[in-house]
Amino acid sequence: MPAGSTGWVTVTETAGVVAIGWPQLVLSAGFMVLVGIISIRLSLGIEKDLAIATVRTYLQLFLLGLTLRWVFGVDSPWLVLALMLLMIVMAARTILKRAPDAPPGIFGSSVISMGLTGFIVTFAVTGLVVQVEPWYRAQYVIPIAGMVLGNSMTGIALALERVFADLDGRAEELVALVALGATPWEAASPSVRKAISAALIPTINSMAAAGIVFIPGMMTGQILAGADPLAASAYQIVVMLMVAAATAIGSVVAVMLTFRRRFSPDGVYLEKGIRDDEHALADGSGSI
Amino acid sequence: MSGTLLEARDLRFVRRGDAGPLKVLDGARLTVARGEVVDISGPSGAGKTTLLRALALMQPGVSGDLLLGGRSAAEVGPREWRVRVALLPQKPVVFPGDVRANLRAPWQLKVRADERVPDDDELRAALDRVGLAEVALDREAVRLSVGQAARVALVRVMLTAPDVLLLDEPDAALDADSAEQVAQLTAKFAKDGAVVRVRHQRPDGVHARRLRLSAGRLHGVGDSD
């Protein structure tokens, strides 16, 4: 649940907040119809995906709105924690899909790295920076957890995809290094460093461009909701730094927990030819 | 020759083949004495590379017993074993950086933290011995030809002074002159250690015991001079 901008058309106005009604929601779909027509005329072949994505946007965001309204009403710490856990598990599943080359069994590592990042960064922000009372107040914790988890998920998926692709690209070098007596860390560390930097670059770029090239999503939302722009920018600064921290912590933890899985217990890099050999790996814990 | 240096007993390895499981190593045994060069030949796909990797503890899934100077692989430990029984893969690998960085790469590793790093004079002399006199130490390694890279990789592993050197087709990428220099260097190395080579080419003047790998086992086919 990353920060997104809302609002397309203005109609009714209540206490500084412009609400959007059903006619406007339907009207906004008109733009998607336009894109659909373009897709058909140019044979882009994306009409179906576009239609599904549009319907999903309506359904998912409305469901989210309803759920959050209910969660804010119930106001229970257990509910907030349960929701965070659910978000973590869903994010870990997404990571698995986005890093198809990763070795099997990284779901657990993804959950651990998402969980660590999610809880540490979210509660650092709500507890120390925003100083929410009580600590579990859903109105603050859930949106912030959503941004933390969403961004660290993207970072973790990118880092995992990169580290295993880079290791395979260096397979011959890794074999030569292990043959010279390298530990898995000594052999893999250049790839690990590259993957973690790659995961951080989009975040660093968006931090550098924030406020000049674009108004960040959360700040946009707050301004549209009637907040003072200066107050909104203070929030946005905290959010950007927290997103950077979440991406960094998440990708470092995830990569450090998983790169070793591409090596055998006694430190041999498992190249494509070797790891596909089920017989080899099944038969032989061996006596060597 | 003085005593057994490397011993492999009952090596077994099964690979998934197109027509079901394939016994690549089926009870292979090998004894290498100090001072010996052993040449292994055999048809393509017979498992020669797998055997070399197994001897270097670099082939997961192999079962059997390996002994170095009477000590088992478990006693020696995988990292120390690979330092003592050094595998040079067939495809020459150069690391990022110049030739000097490549030759010193083994000393960047923790396993050699207490060893002295060879100085430029030693690196220079080692390159000269394999016909690489024209290659400067600060040449970027990616600019080496395949034949030059193969010799840099060989020099790198020889400088680490292992007990046993496992060479996978060491002269495949070399012209006749370079192959001759590498052969002489190999013979010289074997005076203190031992060398196991996978080779297809005709005898190269190095006195070697020749073995043939077929049906997962090694068979003696005489000596070559």
| Chain A interface, Cβ < 8 Å to B | 172-173, 175-183, 186, 264, 266-268, 270, 274, 276-288
CB contact under 8 A, B111 and A181: yes
Give residue B19's pLDDT.
81
Confidence at residue A274, expressed as pLDDT on a 0 to 100 scale: 82
B21 touches chain A (CB under 8 A): yes
Q: How far is A263 from chain B (nearest CA, A)?
A: 10
Residue A285 has pLDDT above 80, yes or no: no
Sheet-wide strand order for B20-33:
B20-33, B4-17, B63-68, B71-72
**pLDDT tens readout for residues A170-192:** 999 999 999 999 999 999 999 99
Note whether B109 contacts A181, CB cutoff 8 Å: yes
What are phi and psi for residue B144, nearest 5 degrees? -75, 150
Confidence band (pLDDT; 50, 70, 90) for A1? very low
Residue-level pLDDT, tens digit, chain B, 225 residues: 458 999 999 999 998 878 888 899 999 999 999 999 999 999 888 899 999 999 999 999 999 999 999 999 999 999 999 999 999 999 999 999 999 999 999 999 999 999 999 999 999 999 998 889 999 999 999 999 988 999 999 999 999 999 999 999 988 888 888 888 889 889 989 998 999 999 876 777 788 889 999 989 999 887 776
Whether pLDDT at A57 is above 70: yes
Percent of chain A with pLDDT strictly greater than 70: 89
CB of B110 within 8 Å of a chain A CB? The answer is yes
pLDDT greater than 80 at residue A47? yes
Tell if the CB–CB gap between A288 and B62 is shorter than 8 Å: yes
Closest to B153 (Cα-Cα) out of B93, B218, B73: B93
A116 pLDDT above the threshold of 70: yes
- Closest CB to A278 among B16, B80, B156: B16
Shortest Cα distance from A190 to chain B (angstroms)?
11
- Residue A16 pLDDT exceeds 80: no
- Does B61 contact A281 at a Cβ distance shorter than 8 Å? yes
Q: Do A280 and B13 touch (CB under 8 A)?
A: yes
In chain B, which among 182-221 make CB contacts under 8 A with chain A? none
Q: What is the pLDDT of residues A76-114, one digit of tens each?
A: 999 999 999 999 999 999 999 888 888 888 899 999 999
Evaluate whether B195 touches B189 at the Cβ level (below 8 Å): yes
Neighbours of A275 (CB within 10 A): 17
- Whole-number pLDDT of residue B45: 84
In the beta sheet, which residues pair with residue B219?
B212
To the nearest whole angstrom, how far is the Cα of A64 from the nearest Cα of chain B? 49
Q: Taking CA atoms, what residue in B is nearest to A286? A: B63
Contact list in B for residue A184 (CB cut-off 8 A) is none
Chain A CB contacts of B93 under 8 Å are 172-173, 175-176
- Which residue does chain A place closest to B14, by CA atoms? A280
Sheet containing B164-168: order of strands: B85-88, B164-168, B194-198, B37-41, B208-214, B217-224
What average pLDDT does this structure show over A131-145? 91
Rounded distance between C-alpha atoms, residue B39 and residue A134, angstroms: 76
The answer to whether the CB atoms of A179 and B63 lie below 8 A apart is no
Under the banding of pLDDT at 50, 70 and 90, the label for residue A10 is very low
Q: Counting one residue from A and one from B, how many pairs have CB atoms under 8 Å apart?
A: 114
Predicted complex ipTM: 0.93
Query: In chain B, whose CA is at the least distance from the CA of A173?
Result: B93
Task: Write down the pLDDT at residue B121.
Answer: 96
Query: What's the pLDDT score for residue B98?
Result: 96
pTM for this entry: 0.83
Kindly state the DSSP code that residue B37 receives in the 8-state scheme: E
Check residue A3 and give its pLDDT. 38
Q: Is the pLDDT of residue A218 over 90?
A: no
| Range with the poorest average pLDDT among A11-25, A238-252, B70-84, B173-187 | A11-25
Q: Which residue has the higher pLDDT, A285 or A260?
A: A260
Q: Indicate if the pLDDT at residue A12 is higher than 70.
A: no
- Chain A residue with the nearest C-alpha to that of B103: A180
Chain A contact set for B65 (CB, 8 A): 287-288
